[in-house]
């Protein structure tokens, strides 16, 4: 395994940084195709099983593990180059510092702050320093130079995929279950078939009102990753 000099596993205690270095992603992040037509989804699926999950409204972060240790956490940025926020990884909930897999593992997820924490944190900030919405607060918090400040903001990492998913499983559902076993807190999801996809979307729509975390839609991913 390689230990990077700025790795959280080397430095005991928090490391305060003076800037966020720019990092190039190994796999560029593409935008999702969007639709509001549920019937269109049904025809798109054909016979395929699909995983429906929340499209979390936060900041996408990519975390890299080598030799079972977290070595890098980088924000989405423009999809090609992001900002290195590895120093804040130890204080982000649902982002384990170690995993049982020793090979190279790259996990993508969303850093979010709950509505409740958003209200409370905003109340505690001086006037003029408050945030407009939980997404902006998550973005501002994860990019703090001082991890103690980030820790006060209760940032949660909701893992949603392995970047190198096929290395771990041919099924999306199985890969999300594996992430959970390894100590991640994956995004909430359901497996649906073309027959019940329309009903499932309606159920998610009803539930969005009570969600603790902000979401701005749903993501549908085929369970068969090769396909």
- Tell me if 52 sits within 8 A of 220, measured CB to CB: yes
- Tell me if 107 sits within 8 A of 168, measured CB to CB: no
Residues serving a catalytic function are 55
CA gap 5, 18 in Å, rounded? 16
pLDDT on residue 164: 78
pLDDT band at 27 (very low <50, low <70, confident <90, very high): confident
pLDDT on residue 36: 76
CB atoms within 10 A of CB 214: 21
3-state helix, strand, coil in the chain (%, to 5): 30, 25, 45
77 φ/ψ angles, rounded to the nearest 5 degrees: 60, -130
pLDDT on residue 225: 86
pLDDT on residue 208: 87
pLDDT tens, residue by residue, 137-188: 999 999 999 999 999 999 999 999 998 766 777 899 999 999 999 999 999 9
pLDDT tens, residue by residue, 197-207: 889 999 998 89
Token pair for residue 113?
């702050």
Residue 106: pLDDT above 70?
Answer: yes
pLDDT band at 51 (very low <50, low <70, confident <90, very high): very high
CB atoms within 10 A of CB 141: 27
CA gap 101, 12 in Å, rounded? 23
pLDDT band at 57 (very low <50, low <70, confident <90, very high): very high
pLDDT on residue 82: 95
């Amino acid at each position: 395994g390689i230990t990077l000099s700025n790795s959280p596993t080397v430095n005991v205690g928090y490391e305060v940084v003076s800037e966020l270095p720019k990092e190039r992603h190994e796999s560029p992040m593409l935008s999702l195709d969007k639709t509001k037509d549920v019937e269109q989804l049904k025809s798109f699926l054909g016979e395929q099983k699909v995983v429906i999950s929340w499209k979390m409204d936060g900041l996408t972060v990519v975390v890299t593990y080598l030799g079972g240790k977290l070595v890098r956490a980088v924000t989405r940025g423009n999809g090609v180059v992001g900002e290195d926020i590895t120093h804040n990884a130890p204080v982000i909930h649902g982002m384990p510092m170690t995993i049982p897999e020793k090979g190279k593992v790259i996990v993508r997820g969303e850093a979010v702050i709950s509505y409740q924490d958003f209200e409370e944190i905003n109340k505690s900030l001086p006037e003029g320093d408050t945030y407009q919405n939980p997404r902006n607060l998550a973005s501002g918090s994860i990019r703090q130079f001082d991890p103690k400040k980030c820790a006060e903001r209760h940032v949660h990492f909701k893992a949603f995929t392995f970047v190198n998913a096929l290395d771990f499983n041919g099924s999306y559902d199985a890969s999300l279950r594996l992430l959970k076993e390894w100590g991640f807190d994956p995004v909430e999801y359901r497996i649906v078939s073309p027959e019940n996809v329309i009903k499932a979307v309606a159920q998610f729509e009803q539930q969005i009102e009570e969600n603790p975390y902000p979401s701005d839609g749903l993501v549908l991913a085929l369970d068969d990753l090769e396909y």
